[in-house]
Each structure stands twice: as C-alpha cells, then as structure tokens.
C-alpha cells in the first residue's frame, strides 16, 4: 500500500479514488492533482512509481490543506466559537444541532439515544 502524508491508500483502486481516503481530498481535488502532475487518473495505486507518489505528496502538502492541519484548523474554529460563547458555540458545547435543524423530533445523531423522562399521565375527568 502506498503511503501518502502518513495515510495508507488502497492498492486496488484507481488513484483518483485512492486519494479520496485522505481527509480533505474529494473527487474534484483528487482529479486536479492527477492532471497537474500528469498521472492518468485511472491508474491503479499499486502501479505508481515512488517518484510519482512523492510528487503527489509534495503537491498535496504545498497546495492543499489536508489531514492534520485541516483537522487542527477545524478544531480551532469550533473551539473559538465555544470560547466566545456565541449561539453556534453553545450548540457545539451542549451537543445539539448547530445549523438550525429541528430538535423536537429527529436530531438523534447529535442528541444520542432516547432518554425517557417520567412525565404526567393523562388526567381523567371524574364525572
């Protein structure tokens, strides 16, 4: 398995698909990298030479923000929102949806499994 920026990319897939295993690299940026370097996008990752892998790694490191620096930047952005105690930061801190989604129903991914709360039973009218 070729290693690019500390990540093993799959051997048996085309290089365009293999590059998407890197955090921050999607289909378009993977295609762009292949065309800029002059590598056929349909080439399997195992067929790449060492110098081609090196050129890919160098281009990704210089021209794109990927892997560690991107994760760090994302984390710093969220922590800045938390520190200034804005609405989005509070939602991040509490673990609720940040972008205005409803929470009365749904939102189970952010809120976690249901916690049943004992509520009032229906009061029956005595007549």
Of residues 52, 59, 45, 63, the one with CA closest to residue 8: 45
The number of beta carbons lying within 10 Å of the beta carbon of residue 125 is 4
- The mean pLDDT value of the chain amounts to 90
For residue 126, pLDDT over 70 is answered with no
Query: For residues 4 and 13, what is the distance between their CA atoms, to the nearest angstrom?
Result: 15
Q: Mean of the pLDDT values across residues 92-104?
A: 92
Of residues 81, 91, 4, 76, the one with CA closest to residue 45: 4
Which DSSP string do the residues of 51-94 spell out, in sequence order?
Answer: HHHHHHHHHHHHH---HHHHHHHHHHHHHHHHHTT-HHHHHHHH
Query: Residue 127's pLDDT band (boundaries 50, 70, 90)?
Result: low
């Amino acid at each position: 398995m070729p290693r690019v920026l500390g990540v093993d990319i799959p051997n048996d897939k085309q290089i365009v698909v293999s590059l998407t295993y890197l955090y921050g690299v999607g289909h378009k940026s993977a295609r762009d990298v292949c065309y800029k370097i002059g590598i056929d996008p349909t080439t399997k990752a195992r067929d790449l030479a060492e110098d081609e892998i090196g050129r890919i790694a160098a281009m990704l490191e210089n021209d794109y923000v990927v892997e560690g620096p991107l994760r760090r930047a994302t984390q710093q952005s969220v922590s800045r929102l938390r520190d200034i105690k804005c609405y989005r930061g509070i939602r991040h801190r509490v673990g609720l949806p940040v972008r205005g989604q409803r929470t009365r129903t749904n939102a189970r991914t952010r809120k976690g499994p249901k916690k049943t709360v004992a509520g009032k039973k229906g009061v029956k009218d005595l007549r």
